């Protein structure tokens, strides 16, 4: 079953699959606790943030009994057999952000139906690629059947010592904490720096700010040329993002941002630092290895479906 089969499914009845409503929120949370198969994309959003999006779909259980105890506990919201969230932020790429399926039998067919139901709306929105970061192994046997291909791999790096390389002086460079008016400029920087599936939107960065541990921007002669975003991790801190304007790379801006971030980590007693980077991003890997990061051996595949 390849992409054409998913498009064919999208033209037929898909067993009551519909767009999620606000009244489904509690039932979705219940499904996440009881589902056999689940996938949660690692980002700053909660599932409820996407309610109302056309790419957030649910499949009610065919045997739902509105008089059951579960239905009464969840205020009459229908028991759900499955749900899926696939949304762009920003266009033209979208991520599979959430999947939950309540049964092992027929799970592949259910997932195919969920994907088929969102493909037309994603295309209408202008989405050209749908990506899936498979933290869990269970989807990997099915995705190639529907036209997904492995587009990249994410590798985890870890640093556990306090040793830092010499930091170059960058004339005219200033590093400060992010401010709300910066988000649009940072989104423009992301668009210049990354392929569509890796870009962060101004909205996503605004959502990340209150959840971040450290969020700094670099300004060269008062122009934003880079930023770093970090979060707390169980063992220390996790460098979520390091972005430098491609036109200003090689000047030491990335090293300065990393050095500033490490000073912040160390002042707070955090010395185990992790990060994820794409296997093919040689420039980032060289920078991180110069700072003493070592591959942990954990690699996660990124599956991509072209839908144009």
Q: Report the share of the chain in percent with pLDDT over 70.
A: 91
82-125: per-residue pLDDT in tens? 999 999 999 999 999 999 999 999 999 999 999 999 999 999 99
pLDDT of residue 131: 98
**Burial of 138 (C-beta count, 10 Å sphere; 0-12/13-18/19+):** middle
List Cα–Cα distances, 3 to 101, 106, 133, 136, 222, in angstroms.
21, 19, 19, 22, 48
More confident residue, 1 or 163: 163
pLDDT of residue 76: 46
β partners of residue 93: 129
pLDDT of residue 62: 79
Question: Is it the case that residue 213 has pLDDT exceeding 70?
Answer: yes
Rounded Cα gap, residues 86 and 99, in angstroms: 9
Asked if 228 and 241 touch (Cβ cutoff 8 Å), the reply is yes
What secondary structure does DSSP assign to 105-156, as a single string?
Answer: TTHHHHHHHHHHHHHHHHHHHT--EEEEE-SSSGGGGTGGGGT-EEEEEEEE
pLDDT of residue 64: 54
Which are the contacts of 55, defined by CB distance < 8 A and separation ≥ 6? 84, 85, 86, 87, 88, 94, 118, 121, 122, 125
* Structural domains of the chain, ranges and CATH numbers in brackets: 3-147 (3.40.630.30), 157-300 (3.40.630.30)
178-203: per-residue pLDDT in tens? 999 999 999 999 999 999 999 999 99
Which are the contacts of 215, defined by CB distance < 8 A and separation ≥ 6? 177, 178, 208, 209, 227, 228, 229, 230
Three-state DSSP at 20 gives coil
Tokens found for residue 183 = 């988000």
10-54: per-residue pLDDT in tens? 666 677 999 999 999 999 999 999 999 999 999 999 999 999 999
């Amino acid at each position: 079953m390849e992409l054409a089969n998913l498009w064919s499914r999208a033209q037929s009845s898909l067993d009551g699959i519909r767009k999620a409503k606000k009244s489904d929120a509690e039932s979705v949370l219940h499904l996440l606790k009881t589902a056999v198969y689940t996938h949660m994309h690692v980002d700053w959003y909660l599932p409820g943030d996407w309610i109302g999006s056309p790419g957030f779909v649910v499949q009610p259980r065919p045997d739902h009994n509105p008089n059951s105890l579960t239905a009464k506990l969840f205020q009459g919201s229908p028991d759900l057999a499955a749900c899926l969230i696939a949304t762009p932020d920003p266009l033209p790429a979208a991520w599979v952000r959430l999947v939950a399926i309540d049964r092992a039998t027929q799970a592949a067919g259910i997932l195919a139906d969920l994907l088929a139901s969102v493909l037309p709306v994603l295309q209408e929105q202008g989405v050209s690629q749908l990506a899936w970061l498979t933290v869990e192994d269970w989807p990997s046997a099915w995705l190639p059947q529907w036209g997904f291909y492995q587009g990249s791999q994410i590798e985890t790096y870890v640093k556990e010592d306090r040793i830092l390389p010499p930091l170059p002086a960058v004339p005219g460079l200033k590093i400060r904490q992010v401010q709300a008016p910066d988000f649009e400029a940072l989104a423009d920087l992301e668009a210049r720096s990354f392929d569509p599936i890796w870009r962060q939107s101004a909205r996503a960065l605004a959502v990340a700010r209150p959840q971040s541990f450290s969020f700094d921007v670099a300004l060269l002669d008062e122009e934003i040329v880079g930023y770093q975003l970090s979060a707390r991790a169980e063992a220390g801190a996790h460098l979520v993002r390091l972005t430098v304007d491609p036109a200003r790379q090689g000047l030491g801006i990335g090293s300065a941002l990393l050095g500033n971030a490490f000073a912040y980590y160390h002042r707070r007693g955090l010395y185990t630092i992790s990060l994820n980077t794409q296997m093919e991003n040689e420039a980032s890997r060289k920078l991180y290895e110069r700072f003493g990061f070592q591959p942990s051996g954990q690699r996660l595949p990124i599956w991509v479906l072209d839908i144009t």
